């Protein structure tokens, strides 16, 4: 098909009425009434240049980030920053309870009185803007509970101990947590894996309530309970797309042999009146267990999964380390510390400094290729 720009625009009276088409190789020898080659290039290039200019302008507009001052939204200049909320504590401290052993099956310290805190829990808390005081489970009770008065929240870690002194100390600290909240101090508690299991045993008053599940070294999804209202829960600040991915992608780490089923919680009056179920997960045998709960009337949240591992542990093969998985860790940590900032407790600064975990050094144990990467050992 010939271009309309190459047809003769005029008609010769002496010629027939049929238009005469000029071949491309005859343009230079055409009569003066035929458009020159430069004219024809103008016809072609001018529209192309206009179109290209519009595209470049649009691309520049889309790629340029304008500052508030550049779009007329600059705030009035202030001589100082706005005052912070006096009701919030912007120097929160979290107490983490140590667990019996060295966290490495005796490879690091096999003393009978040794206890440890995995460094991942410390980093988890610090990443959200809080400091840590270790609550050493087997130190004299007067010392342990004096330290409890220096913190703005408590974290129970994973582990294996479900009896003896450790169980009794968890029970006493849990009771103190409820007392502090009943007295008007907003004092949050996170219970992770073993911590969740111990709370179900304590609240239900049944040490045999746990059920067996196959969920060791397993990444999983979280399935939200039907008609769950996440307002005021650990999930309230999750972006909508990340909330959706929690149910479709394996973004959380499970590593447990025990748990509790939704039916068991519903049938136990003590548990159902204290906790509301937020999520469930499924083990390797397709058995469903409760994976996240939150207290109805207290700032107490319990996880059967490990929110701290995604960002800070590397010893298990199935720990998810994607950007989304790390965001899960961060959002869960942020909620905990935001709750701790509501605490009214303002202990003497010197006492806090004397008891911070910075007074101890972590031990690297990740070369074994299993378990924790770093632990704090107390003996």
Average model confidence (pLDDT) across the chain: 87
Question: Which listed residue (99, 193, 256, 365) is catalytic?
Answer: 193
Q: Which tokens sit at 270?
A: 């003590």
Boundaries of every domain in the chain: 93-378
Nearest to 169 by CA among 97, 259, 274, 96: 97
Q: What local confidence, expressed as pLDDT, does residue 34 receive?
A: 54
Asked if the model's pLDDT at residue 10 lies above 60, the reply is no
Q: What local confidence, expressed as pLDDT, does residue 20 receive?
A: 40
Residue 331 a catalytic site member: no
**Regarding beta strands 300-303 and 275-282, do their DSSP bridges make them parallel or antiparallel, or are they unpaired?**
unpaired
pTM of the model: 0.80
CB 362 within 8 A of CB 376: yes
How far apart are alpha carbons 179 and 185 in whole angstroms?
9
Question: Which uninterrupted H or E stretch holds 243?
Answer: helix 240-248
Residue 250 a catalytic site member: no
Question: Of the given ranges (6-15, 67-76, 262-271), which has the lowest mean pLDDT?
Answer: 6-15
How far apart are alpha carbons 7 and 69 in whole angstroms?
56
For the chain, the residue count is: 379
> Tell me, which fold does domain 93-378 have in CATH?
Rossmann fold (3.40.50)
Question: Which listed residue (99, 256, 306, 331) is catalytic?
Answer: 306
Find the angle CA(3)-CA(4)-CA(8) to the nearest 5 degrees: 115
Backbone region of residue 7 per phi and psi (left: phi > 0; alpha: psi in -120 to 50; beta: other values): beta
CB 248 within 8 A of CB 221: yes
Percentage of the chain with pLDDT > 70? 80
pLDDT band at 166 (very low <50, low <70, confident <90, very high): very high
How far apart are alpha carbons 155 and 192 in whole angstroms?
8
pLDDT band at 3 (very low <50, low <70, confident <90, very high): very low
The DSSP code for 70 is G
Asked if the model's pLDDT at residue 63 lies above 70, the reply is no
Count H helices and E strands in the chain, helices first.
Answer: 11, 14
Q: Which tokens sit at 23?
A: 């071949």
Nearest to 331 by CA among 117, 169, 107, 128: 128
Q: What local confidence, expressed as pLDDT, does residue 85 receive?
A: 85
Question: Which uninterrupted H or E stretch holds 57?
Answer: helix 37-63
Q: Is 34 helix (H, G, I), strand (E, B) or coil?
A: coil
Asked if the model's pLDDT at residue 31 lies above 90, the reply is no
Nearest to 340 by CA among 132, 144, 171, 159: 132
Q: What local confidence, expressed as pLDDT, does residue 299 receive?
A: 98
Q: What local confidence, expressed as pLDDT, does residue 61 receive?
A: 55
Asked if the model's pLDDT at residue 135 lies above 60, the reply is yes
- Rounded to the nearest angstrom, the gap between the alpha carbon of residue 296 and the centroid of all alpha carbons in its chain is 23
């Amino acid at each position: 098909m010939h271009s309309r720009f190459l047809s003769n625009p005029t008609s010769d009276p002496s010629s027939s009425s049929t238009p005469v088409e000029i071949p491309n190789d005859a343009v230079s020898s055409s009569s003066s009434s035929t458009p020159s080659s430069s004219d024809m290039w103008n016809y072609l290039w001018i529209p192309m240049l206009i179109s290209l200019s519009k595209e470049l302008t649009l691309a520049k507009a889309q790629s340029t980030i304008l500052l508030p001052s550049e779009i007329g939204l600059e705030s009035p200049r202030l001589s100082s920053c706005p005052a912070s909320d006096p009701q919030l504590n912007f120097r929160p401290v979290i107490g983490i309870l140590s667990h019996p052993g060295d966290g490495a099956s005796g490879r690091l310290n096999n003393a009978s009185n040794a206890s440890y805190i995995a460094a991942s829990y410390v980093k988890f808390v610090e990443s959200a803007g809080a400091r840590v005081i270790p609550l050493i489970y087997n130190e004299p009770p007067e010392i342990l509970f004096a330290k409890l008065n220096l913190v703005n929240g408590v974290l129970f870690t994973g582990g294996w101990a479900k009896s003896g002194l450790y169980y009794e100390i968890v029970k006493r600290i849990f009771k103190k947590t409820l007392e502090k909240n009943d007295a008007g101090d907003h004092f949050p508690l996170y219970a992770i894996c073993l911590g969740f299991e111990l709370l179900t045993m304590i609240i239900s008053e049944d040490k045999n309530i746990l059920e067996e599940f196959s969920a060791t070294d397993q990444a999983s999804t979280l399935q939200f309970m039907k008609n769950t209202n996440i307002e005021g829960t650990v999930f309230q600040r999750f972006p909508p797309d990340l909330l959706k991915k929690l149910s479709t992608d394996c973004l959380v780490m499970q590593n447990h042999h025990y748990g509790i089923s939704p039916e068991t919680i519903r049938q136990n009056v003590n548990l159902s009146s204290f906790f509301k179920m937020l999520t469930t997960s499924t083990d390797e045998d397709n058995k469903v267990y409760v994976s996240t709960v939150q207290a109805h009337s207290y700032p107490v949240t319990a996880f059967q999964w490990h929110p701290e591992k995604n960002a800070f542990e590397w010893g298990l093969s199935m720990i998810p380390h994607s950007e989304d998985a790390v965001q899960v860790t961060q959002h869960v940590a942020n909620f905990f510390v935001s709750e701790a900032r509501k605490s009214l407790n303002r202990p003497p600064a010197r006492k806090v400094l004397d008891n911070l975990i910075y007074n101890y050094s972590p031990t690297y144990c990740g070369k074994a290729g299993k378990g924790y990467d770093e632990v704090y050992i107390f003996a």
